[in-house]
Amino acid sequence: MKGRLVSDTGPIIALSSIDRLEILKMIFDEVSLPETVHHEIMQGGKSFTGLESYRKATWIKVQSPASPIEPLLGTLLDRGEASVIHLAREKESDFVLIDERKARKIARKIYGLHVVGSAMKYVVAGEA
């Protein structure tokens, strides 16, 4: 499963906590995070056991959207999820990695994005 991925906070924290972020690098050609997601991860501070693993993953691109988030997204989802969907659409990414069910449904049904959840990345990694 190659292509460009934009990820939300939860999956990055989960993989960082077990020092397995490289799974994403093996599966996808490019991994990006919206700046909002990057800030959410960094705010975990010392209580976030995977922070060092995240900091070492210099191959992850932190990007800012070129345009403001659509009001619909901003009302229905939290900032991180909305920014993932918005950036993925702007950058014409192949996949979004979101765990929250409502955000996954909106990404898939309203915006036609290919959604990958944490369970899928573990399955694919097992095949790699």
Q: Would residue 85 count as lying in a domain?
A: yes
Model confidence pLDDT, tens digit, residues 105-125: 999 999 999 999 765 555 445
Q: Would residue 35 count as lying in a domain?
A: yes
Q: Would residue 101 count as lying in a domain?
A: yes
From residue 14, alpha-carbon distances to 18, 59, 118 in Å are 7, 18, 9
**CATH number (domain holding residue 33):** 3.40.50
Strand 95-97 relative to strand 115-116, pairing: parallel
When divided into structural domains, the chain yields a total of 1
Q: Going along the chain, which residue ranges are E strands? A: 4-7, 30-34, 61-63, 95-97, 115-116
Q: Would residue 66 count as lying in a domain?
A: yes
Q: Would residue 118 count as lying in a domain?
A: yes
Ramachandran quadrant class, 76 (left: phi over 0; alpha: psi -120 to 50; beta: rest): alpha
Q: Domain range holding 50?
A: 9-123
Look at residue 128 and tell me whether its pLDDT is greater than 50.
no
Q: Would residue 77 count as lying in a domain?
A: yes
Model confidence pLDDT, tens digit, residues 44-71: 766 678 888 999 999 999 999 999 999 9
Tokens at 84, concatenated: 């993932």
pLDDT above 90 covers what percent of the chain?
75
100 SS3 class: coil
